[in-house]
C-alpha cells in the first residue's frame, strides 16, 4: 500500500519492451532480467504477465471509456428516437406528460439521464412523475360524469354543490383546478 507522500519510479516504455524482448527472445529468467536491468523482480513478473495476457505491457486503469464519436452517435440515436415518439404523441397529451411517457418508452434502449437531458427534464422530476399517484382520480371522474350529464352547462360552482350534496367535502377552488385539468387531458 502506498504511503502518503511516497514517490513512485516511472519506467520508460523502451525499458519495458527490453524486458519483454529479453524474456521472449533471449529466454532469460525473470530474476536474471531484474538483476541485469536493476529492476525489482516483482515488477518484471508483472510486465511479462501483462504482456502475455493482454498483449501490452501498459494496462489502462478503470473502465474503458467510450470515444467522443461513440458518445455523439449514441446521443444522436437517442435524440432521433425521442423526437419520433414525441411527434407521435404530440397530438395525444399535454407537454410534460408526453415527454415523460416518451422517456419511459425509450428507457429500455437509452439511459434515463441522457433522455431527461434531451427532453430538458430533471431526472428527479422524471422519477417523481413516474411514482406519483393521482389521489384525486375518483373526484375527477365524478366531475367529468356530472359535467357531461348536464351537457357541459354546469360550471365549477354547480358541480361543487352537487359533490357536496353527495357528501364529498371539496373546495370550489379544487373543483375548478380539477375541472381545468380533466377537461384539458
C-alpha cell at 50: 501483462
For every residue of 4-55, DSSP letters joined together read TT-------HHHHHHHHHHHHTS---HHHHHHHHT--HHHHHHHHHHHHHHS
pLDDT digits (tens, 9 = 90+) for 48-88: 888 888 777 666 666 666 677 888 888 899 998 888 888 77
C-alpha cell at 17: 519492451
The pTM score is 0.36
| Closest C-alpha among 136, 150, 127, 147 to residue 178 | 136
Residues 125-142 have a mean pLDDT of 86
DSSP 8-state secondary structure symbol assigned to residue 62: S
pLDDT digits (tens, 9 = 90+) for 10-62: 788 888 888 888 888 888 888 888 888 888 888 888 888 888 887 776 666 66
Task: Band the pLDDT of 124: cuts 50, 70, 90.
Answer: very high
Position 92 scores a pLDDT of: 57
Position 176 scores a pLDDT of: 92
Q: What is the 3-state secondary structure (H, E, C) of 96-120?
A: HHHHHHHHHHHCCCCCHHHHHHHHC
Position 1 scores a pLDDT of: 59
pLDDT digits (tens, 9 = 90+) for 146-172: 988 988 898 999 999 999 999 999 999
Identify whether the C-beta of residue 99 lies closer than 8 Å to the C-beta of residue 105.
no
Amino acid at each position: 500500500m502506498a504511503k502518503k507522500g511516497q514517490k513512485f519510479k516511472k519506467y520508460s516504455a523502451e525499458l519495458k519492451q527490453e524486458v519483454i524482448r529479453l524474456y521472449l527472445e533471449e529466454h532469460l529468467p525473470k530474476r536474471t532480467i531484474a538483476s541485469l536491468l536493476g529492476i525489482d523482480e516483482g515488477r518484471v513478473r508483472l510486465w511479462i504477465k501483462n504482456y502475455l495476457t493482454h498483449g501490452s505491457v501498459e494496462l489502462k486503469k478503470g473502465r474503458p471509456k467510450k470515444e467522443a464519436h461513440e458518445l455523439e452517435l449514441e446521443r444522436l440515436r437517442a435524440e432521433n428516437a425521442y423526437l419520433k415518439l414525441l411527434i407521435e404523441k404530440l397530438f395525444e397529451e399535454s407537454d410534460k406528460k408526453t415527454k415523460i411517457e416518451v422517456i419511459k418508452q425509450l428507457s429500455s434502449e437509452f439511459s434515463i439521464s441522457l433522455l431527461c437531458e434531451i427532453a430538458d427534464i430533471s431526472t428527479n422530476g422524471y422519477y417523481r412523475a413516474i411514482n406519483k399517484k393521482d389521489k384525486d382520480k375518483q373526484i375527477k371522474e365524478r366531475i367529468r360524469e356530472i359535467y357531461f350529464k348536464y351537457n357541459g352547462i354546469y360550471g365549477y360552482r354547480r358541480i361543487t354543490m352537487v359533490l357536496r350534496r353527495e357528501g364529498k367535502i371539496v373546495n370550489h377552488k379544487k373543483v375548478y383546478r380539477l375541472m381545468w385539468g380533466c377537461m384539458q387531458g
